[in-house]
């Protein structure tokens, strides 16, 4: 059973679904993103339907954090329009992913097609720390 609430105010009746309300406020829920690691790269795929590449920002922050952000502007309408039901998120979103040591953050490629953002971060071989033997001195 759905937990949909009806809110009455004046001559308006608005239907609110608590899950959808939470989803619209939560950048993790409103920006679904997959992260796949292949032998060559880390591949991020994010669903951003209706957004253009100019409305999305991809950055490497703090040296090893992939940051995807943007904003979906509210839909313009006539002042006489009355929303009956809203599920699509609006407003700002921000996703952050801490990258592993093998991510080549200076070789990041991003593309967007049909509202799907794809970010590819090449991998590099991580050098293991060398083993160093410490001699114990006599006192």
93/58 Cα distance (integer angstroms): 12
Residue percentage of the chain with pLDDT more than 90: 47
SS3 5: strand
- Asked whether 42 and 99 are in contact (CB, 8 A), the reply is yes
The region of weakest confidence among 10-24, 91-105, 116-130 is 10-24
pLDDT at 90 over 90: no
How does 11-49 read in b/e, with b if 16+ C-beta sit within 10 Å? eeeeeebeebeeebeebeebbebeeeeeeebbebebebe
Span 29-85, pLDDT tens digits: 578 899 999 999 999 999 998 899 999 999 999 999 999 999 888 777 788 888 787
93/112 Cα distance (integer angstroms): 17
Ordered domains of the chain (ranges, CATH): 30-73+89-123 (2.60.40.790)
Q: pTM above 0.85? A: no
């Amino acid at each position: 059973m759905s937990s949909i609430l009806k809110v009455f105010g004046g001559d308006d009746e608005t239907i609110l679904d608590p899950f959808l309300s939470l989803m619209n406020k939560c950048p993790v829920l409103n920006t679904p993103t997959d992260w796949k690691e292949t032998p060559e790269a880390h591949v991020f795929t994010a669903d951003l339907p209706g957004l253009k590449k100019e409305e999305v920002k991809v950055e490497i922050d703090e040296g090893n954090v992939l940051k995807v952000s943007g904003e979906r502007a509210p839909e313009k309408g006539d002042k006489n329009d009355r929303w009956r039901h809203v599920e699509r998120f609006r407003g700002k979103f921000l996703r952050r992913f801490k990258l592993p040591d093998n991510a080549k953050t200076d070789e990041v490629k991003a593309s967007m097609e049909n509202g799907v953002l794809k970010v590819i971060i090449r991998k590099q071989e991580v050098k293991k720390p060398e083993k160093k033997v410490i001699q114990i001195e006599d006192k």
